[in-house]
């Protein structure tokens, strides 16, 4: 079970079905990083996000994918 699964499960229990999209703040909490750092990851393209209207959203599986890439990079180094 990934960090994202844990946090989205908690969100689902509180608010109904598991979210498909996270706010930047929710994604930052999943990754245990600050909001500014999360926006920096989005800006550099390291963390997937999309814009809906004027809102920035992060797919619920994107934090886990980011962690998987980072772990693979560290193993290769």
Instruction: Delimit the domains of the chain by residue range.
Output: 3-71
CATH of 3-71, one of 3.30.1180, 3.30.70, 1.10.10, 1.10.3470: 1.10.10
For residue 14, the cross-strand partners are none
Residue 7's pLDDT band (cuts 50, 70, 90): low
pLDDT tens per residue, range 48-64: 999 999 999 999 999 99
Question: b/e string for 10-42 if b means 16 or more Cβ within 10 A?
Answer: ebeeeeeeebebbebebbbbbbeeeeeebbebb
What does the alpha-carbon distance between residue 45 and residue 69 come to, in Å, rounded to a whole number? 13
């Amino acid at each position: 079970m990934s960090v994202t699964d844990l946090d989205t499960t908690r969100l689902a229990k509180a608010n109904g079905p598991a979210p498909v999209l996270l706010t930047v703040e929710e994604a930052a909490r999943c990754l245990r990083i600050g909001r500014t750092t999360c926006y920096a990851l989005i800006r550099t393209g390291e963390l997937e996000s999309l814009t809906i209207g004027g809102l920035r959203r992060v797919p619920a599986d994107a934090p886990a994918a980011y962690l998987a890439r980072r772990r693979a990079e560290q193993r290769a180094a």
